[in-house]
Chain A
Amino acid sequence: QSALTQPASVSGSPGQSIAISCTGTSSDVGGYNFVSWYQQHPGKAPKLMIYDVSNRPSGVSDRFSGSKSGNTASLTISGLQAEDEAVYYCVSYTGSSTPVLFGGGTKLTVL
């Protein structure tokens, strides 16, 4: 299975909103409501930000939200802050013998 497709980079100014897309197929993103998003700062372990398309774990800011339409999922960050600058990865469940599929990652730059 090929990796999920994410844009290599996105950018935005403080206070703005941005969206990061994650495109898969009907066998992964489109087939299950099990898309998750992770934030990774340099030298740190990834941190879960969204699970099951749109659920936020306890402690994650409500500035982060997730959605899905067809084979494409999206992570939206509103009210951008400098601390949001990081690489974001999407993951989808696939239901196959390789059940966990990562996206290639998107570097978010806060201008």
Chain B
Amino acid sequence: QVQLQESGPGLVKSSETLSLTCGVSGYSISRGYYWGWIRQPPGKGLEWIGSIFHSGRTYYNSPLKSRVTISVDTARNQFSLKLTSVTAADTAVYYCARLPHCTSRTACYDGGRYLDYWGQGALVTVSS
């Protein structure tokens, strides 16, 4: 059974960098799939942040692109999120997820087609 678990500080000061890690069990990141981050501000909808392939290829949501870095550590079977210069607007529950991207051995769609396994989410609050 594939399981994902977010970890990291729950409180970050304004203007500093938010860092989260997603540990994956039950599946080796090196085998494939995209792996992504999604966030949800309190009382609001879901927002895709970005996705990464085990090779390190990344895709980011345009509004966040200048502040986001997603990286992968295949040896530890985990991937990470860094969001710089945070403000109160970055306060949210942050989820990690797995994204299948191929429909066959030859038909693959970079970034991911859908999100099949999700972590439980981690609330990160940005304080002033």
Asked whether, in the complex, the Cβ of A93 is within 8 Å of the Cβ of B115, the reply is no
- Shortest Cβ gap from B34 to chain A (Å): 9
- CB < 8 Å neighbour of B62 from A3, A46, A91, A98: A98
Residues 55-111 of A at the B interface (beta carbon under 8 Å): 57, 89, 91, 93, 95, 97-105
**Across-interface contacts of A46 in B (CB, < 8 A):** 46, 95, 115, 118
Closest residue of B by beta carbon distance from A93: B113
Cβ-Cβ contact count across A and B, 8 Å cutoff: 76
B110 at the interface (CB under 8 A from A): yes
Q: Is the interface of B mostly helix, strand, loop or mixed?
A: loop
Asked whether, in the complex, the Cβ of A45 is within 8 Å of the Cβ of B120, the reply is yes
* Most B-side CB within 10 Å, residue of A32, A45, A93: A45
Going nearest first, the 3 A-B pairs with the smallest beta carbon separation are A99-B111, A36-B114, A100-B48
Residues of A whose CB lies within 8 Å of any CB of B are 1, 3, 32, 34, 36, 38, 40, 45-48, 51-52, 57, 89, 91, 93, 95, 97-105
